[in-house]
Structure 1
């Protein structure tokens, strides 16, 4: 799930860069930032060296996502971000990242609030950072039902771990909960109310 999420998030970030009219370097930077940014922020918050700086696999997965986005853009020209394959991959990535973020928070002994923060930042942080780099309000703050499943996944993981469920099962169950909420939002058009 993590690899699929890295590829999908890198592709989405690269497509944001293309849409904003960035050059190839800018597209690559946005792709890598979207894929690796949330996990990097999470690791810094819990006081450890970011896994993206230690793992060639994460960097290669992000690079694959950028290459995919550039190839699709060159070949088709249209914005494929609404493609079912990319939307599903993005939902799986959100679930994987939110669940692993919650697992890191639980492992490091954070409070409920801390676990929810690192779960949410891991899931949506990279996309939010890329939006800020493009000088726009992060999409998770103004549209769609996207960050809410990550928040719910963090709470779910903390509660599940608190009742004694083993760490691996907690992470898997949290990922399934986030994925179910995200897919439900896509299927039924769930949105939070605006003021």
Structure 2
């Protein structure tokens, strides 16, 4: 499925860059940078494939690992590690958003492929999108972005829900997926800049 492959590539590149930024902010050494980038980019997909009972894409294809390595090397060559307040920079926000929406789409599409119900598809979209970042943040003793950021996980859940509804009406193909992708990106960026948050208790 072309849509799935495209979503995987975009998500891997975007989250590898996001993981690189976080590693730099935490002042990790070179090995730490590689681990953080790999976990962010590939961790969610590994969890997704285990839940869907399919061979992990990361372990059966070389492309994901090559993409992560290429992103790290280019980031170092372009000296992105010398930027201050990385997580507030537009390129970090955009890369994280692209990764979030792309992996939400790939998770939902795989959930549909294996015949999951609504909750399975939606939760697989969420796990794929945020799983790697959560593992990374736990490793770095940080509060996962999923639990604190504006509409972060909500965007992933909405993307999964929309794709499930589309599937019930046999709406598929590249164009509908790109429409959902554009919607997810726009919603996440709007939520970030408008500082939208879900209600908090207390």
Q: Determine if the TM-score, normalized by the shorter chain, exceeds 0.5.
A: yes
Aligned partner of 2:138 among 132, 138, 145: 132
Say if 2:48 and 2:124, in contact at 8 Å, map to a contact too. yes
Aligned partner of 2:17 among 11, 17, 24: 11
Aligned partner of 1:33 among 39, 44, 47: 39
Distance in structure 2 (CA, Å) of the matches to 1:134 and 1:54: 28
Structure 1 residue 83: Cα displacement: 2.5
Of the structure 1 ranges 103-112 and 130-139, higher mean CA displacement relative to structure 2 is found in: 130-139
Structure 1 residue 167: Cα displacement: 5.0
Counterparts of 1:97-108 in structure 2, within 5 Å, are 97-108=103-114
Say if 2:47 and 2:127, in contact at 8 Å, map to a contact too. yes
Q: Residues 47 and 182 of structure 1: is their aligned pair in 2 closer, same or farther, counting only changes over 3 Å? A: same
After superposition, the CA RMSD in angstroms is: 2.0
Counterparts of 1:1-195 in structure 2, within 5 Å, are 2-71=8-77, 72-74=79-81, 76-195=82-201
Length-normalised TM-score, structure 1 = 0.89
Structure 1 residue 193: Cα displacement: 2.1
Which residues of structure 2 form unaligned runs of 5+? 1-6
Secondary structure at the aligned position of 2:138 is classed as helix
Which residues of structure 1 form unaligned runs of 5+? none
The alignment of Structure 1 onto Structure 2 pairs a total of residues equal to: 194
Structure 1 residue 125: Cα displacement: 1.1
Say if 2:41 and 2:68, in contact at 8 Å, map to a contact too. yes
Say if 2:111 and 2:124, in contact at 8 Å, map to a contact too. yes
Say if 2:155 and 2:188, in contact at 8 Å, map to a contact too. yes
Structure 1 residue 168: Cα displacement: 4.3
Structure 1 residue 65: Cα displacement: 2.4
Say if 1:98 and 1:178, in contact at 8 Å, map to a contact too. no
Of the structure 1 ranges 32-41 and 21-30, higher mean CA displacement relative to structure 2 is found in: 21-30
Cα deviation, 1:11-33, whole Å, max 9, x if unaligned, reads 22122223223221111101110
